[in-house]
Amino acid sequence: MNYSVLIIITAVIMIVLCAGMLLVLRRSAEKAEMDRRIAAERESARRQEELARTDQMLRTLTMMSDIQDKRLDDMQTELNKMALENEIKLDNIRTTLETRLNAMQNDNNEQLEKMRDTVDEKLQKTLEERLAKSFGLVNDQLEKVTKGFGEMNALASNVGDLKKVLSNVKTRGNLGELQLGSILREILAPEQFEENVETRKGSGERVEFAVRLPGDGDGVVYLPIDAKFPGDTYAALVDAYEEGDRYLIEQAKKNLRNVLRKEAKDIRGKYIDPPATTDFAVMFLPVEGLYAEAVRLGMVEELQQNEFKINLAGPTTMAALLNSLQMGFRTLAIQKHSSEVWDTLAGVKTEFAKFADALEKVQNKLGQANNDLTNLVGVRTRQINRKLKDVETLDDYDSDLFLPDAEVWMGPDDEGEQQ
């Protein structure tokens, strides 16, 4: 009985203890739930407060961004305006420079054209006058030569009548000398030839005539001309032709060749002395028939090509030779005057070169001014870019630091003051 009561009491106690423990656990759970709800409410309030702050910061940043965008737009507009103004100014400067350069080039071209026309006109006029004068002189000389041809033909037709007069050797020599002197005086001027000239200094031998040819500088080179008339030998050949004896003809031809070679050797040894004289001389044969016979015998080529270097000339060929020399003198005179014209042209060319150098210097200075303007625009652009770079790296917004009072570039003087 007692044992059952004890068990019951123990069970009751256990039940009471279990109920107490359950009550305690329930109260602990309710308290933990209460604490959790309080913590959740506090966390929610804190998050709402942070969201409110974040929203406020976003609105502030948005407002600052709008303000910055507006100021950047204003600055971009100002920069575009400044760039446009600078571009307009540069275009105006370029236009002005191009206009002035074109005007200078046109003026220079006009001046050069005038100079060229003047020089061409003077050259043309001078050449026409001198050529007309030269051709006139040549025509006069040709007329004289034609007249001389007629006289020589008449003289050749009367060779038979002159045989008596020419039987004396000295008379024949004087006749050839007189005839040669007459031809020289008709064609050449007195200062263009001399008589009885000692071409070999100290030899004592004097040539009958010597043509004065221009040498180096103001020096003179003599062309010896000596008259030879082997009348007896020529007369023997004429007689042999009249008789028709072949042996006599060949013998007379051989004698004439030997005489001409001897006379050529004599002229070569006495009168040729380069450089005081030419390396050749002229042997004048005063009768056309004699000269024609020498040509038929081939003596012209032989005496020219061998060691003698003697040119044979009859009355006709002597006149032609002297006319050729006269034309050479005329040509030389024209060349001397032409050199004066070329000297004038050289002076004009020198002055034009100086003018071109001065024009190039002006062009270089204009190019340098254009480069200076370009550099000034580049310096201002770099300064603005540096300002924009500073704005992007600012930590705090400050309107005074962000955009100071803008200055607009107005020219090189303004740039100098800024520097």
The string of DSSP letters for 94-127 reads: HHHHHHHHHHHHHHHHHHHHHHHHHHHHHHHHHH
- Decide if pLDDT at 240 tops 50: yes
Cβ atoms of 213 and 278 closer than 8 Å: yes
Q: What is the pTM of this model?
A: 0.42
- Decide if pLDDT at 391 tops 70: no
Mean pLDDT value across residues 232-260: 86
CA-nearest of 280, 368, 406, 414 to 93 is: 368
Token reading at 263: 């006379």
Residue 406 banded pLDDT, cuts 50, 70, 90: very low
Q: What per-residue confidence (pLDDT) applies to 231?
A: 76
- Decide if pLDDT at 419 tops 50: no
163 Cβ neighbours under 8 A, 6+ residues apart: 235
Residue 10 banded pLDDT, cuts 50, 70, 90: confident
